[in-house]
DNA sequence: ATGGCAAACGCAGTTTGA
């Protein structure tokens, strides 16, 4: 089983690239962030033609998440369980033996910003949600754009970034709080020494110079550790004409009993 | 110390992203 995630920065613009990537990589699951589409605009037919079901949760202009899967998504959730969908950043579904939670964590803008406070509150809410979700679904994969570089190893120039947003101690502590529930950063678990990025700023030729951050993650619950295979970041997709600023990330899971 | 680039909205220039 291959699961994956990609912040596409507008599915309207990136649909051809997503279709190409699905056809080439054949993942069982692809979690999208920043679709920036309303549900009425979602390209259901183009994805169905490739053999993918779609669970989508969007809004106009901003945010928007979706889970594409070969198998039918079961027990779907769009937005928070209490019905708050003011920002479309969360969806979940069971796909085969796996519970898949897709997140687009708020960016936070800057540490002094109200949006940063919102980000921390959102992460606290996510932790509580996951604690509950884990009770019912021990085999849980949490994928998405976390907008947090977990450690300085995940930053091209930690000195320059310092404790700015994406790297601040409070954000990293919030992510650690999720790990305390029994989640593991699959890429870091498999490759403890790797320095690799999933996002490169559009500006200043950051991709050409390979100066980026690893802020897109696939976290797995402890029950999935025994079936962890390879993981990767598809830099080729970032090379495309009119690319997203994020690369797709993926993880192979072995057969689950 | 700051901007850079890209997308949405909408038709110029602002807002947002990370």
Task: Give, in Å, how far the C1' of B12 lies from the CA of A166.
Answer: 32
For residue A237, CA distances in Å to A110, A181, A244 come to 28, 33, 8
Nucleotide B1 C1' to residue A61 CA (A)? 32
Q: What is the pTM of this model?
A: 0.97
Q: What is the pLDDT of residues A112-128, one digit of tens each?
A: 999 999 999 999 999 99
Residue A133 is predicted with a pLDDT of 98
Give pLDDT tens digits for A179-235. 999 999 999 999 999 999 999 999 999 999 999 999 999 999 999 999 999 999 999
Dihedral pair phi/psi, residue A121, rounded to 5°: -65, -40
The pLDDT assigned to A256 comes to 78
Which residues are A68's β-sheet partners?
A30, A54
Chain B footprint positions (protein CB, under 7 Å): 3-9, 16-18
Catalytic residue among A28, A104, A116, A245: A104
Strand B and A168 CB separated by under 7 Å: no
Whether residue A219 contacts residue A178, with contact meaning beta carbons closer than 8 Å, is answered with yes
Q: In the CATH scheme, what is the code of domain A2-253?
A: 3.60.10.10
Domain limits, chain A:
2-253
Q: Is A107 helix (H, G, I), strand (E, B) or coil?
A: coil
**Active-site residue A245, yes or no?**
no
In whole angstroms, give the CA distance from residue A58 to residue A61. Answer: 9
For A204 and B2, how far is CA from C1' in angstroms?
13
The pLDDT value given to residue A189: 98
Instruction: Share the mean pLDDT of chain A.
Output: 97
Instruction: Note if A104 is an active site residue.
Output: yes
Cβ-based neighbours of A82, under 8 Å, separated by 6 or more: none
Dihedral of CA A129/A130/A132/A137: which sign? positive
A:79-118 Cβ neighbours of strand B under 7 Å? 106-107, 109-110, 115
DSSP state of A73: P
* Per-block mean pLDDT, blocks of 10 residues, chain A (257 long): 98 98 98 98 98 98 97 98 94 98 97 95 98 98 98 96 96 98 98 98 96 98 98 97 97 89
pLDDT at A57: 98
Nucleotide nearest to A213 (CA to C1'): B18
Helix, coil or strand: residue A11: helix
Q: CB of residue A169 closer than 7 A to nucleic acid strand B?
A: no
**pLDDT at residue A60 in the model:** 95
Q: Which nucleotide is nearest to A215 (CA to C1')?
A: B18
A7 touches strand B (CB under 7 A): yes
Q: What's the Å distance between residue A30 CA and nucleotide B9 C1'?
A: 28
The closest nt to A166, taking CA to C1', is: B18
């Amino acid at each position: 089983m291959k699961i994956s995630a990609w912040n596409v920065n507008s599915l309207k613009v990136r649909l051809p690239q997503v279709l190409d990537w699905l056809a080439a990589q054949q993942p069982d699951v692809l979690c999208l962030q920043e679709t920036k589409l309303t549900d009425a605009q979602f390209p259901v037919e183009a994805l169905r033609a490739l053999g993918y079901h779609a669970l989508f949760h969007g809004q106009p202009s901003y945010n928007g998440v979706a889970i594409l899967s070969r198998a039918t998504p079961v027990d779907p959730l769009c937005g928070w369980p209490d019905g708050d969908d003011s920002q479309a950043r969360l969806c979940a579904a069971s796909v085969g033996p796996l519970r898949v939670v897709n997140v687009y964590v708020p960016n936070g803008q800057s540490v002094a910003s109200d949006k940063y406070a919102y980000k921390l509150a959102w992460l606290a809410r996510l932790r509580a949600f996951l604690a509950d979700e884990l009770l019912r679904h021990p085999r849980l994969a949490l994928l998405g754009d976390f907008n947090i570089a977990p450690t300085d190893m995940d930053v091209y120039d930690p000195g320059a970034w310092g404790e700015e947003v994406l790297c601040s101690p409070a954000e990293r502590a919030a992510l650690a709080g999720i790990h305390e529930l029994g989640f593991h950063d699959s890429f870091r678990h498999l490759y403890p020494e790797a320095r690799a990025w999933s996002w490169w700023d559009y500006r200043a030729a950051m991709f050409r110079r390979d100066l980026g951050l690893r802020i897109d993650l696939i976290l797995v619950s402890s029950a999935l550790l025994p079936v962890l295979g390879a993981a990767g970041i598809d830099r080729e997709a970032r090379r495309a004409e009119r690319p997203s600023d994020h690369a797709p990330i993926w993880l192979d899971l072995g057969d689950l009993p």
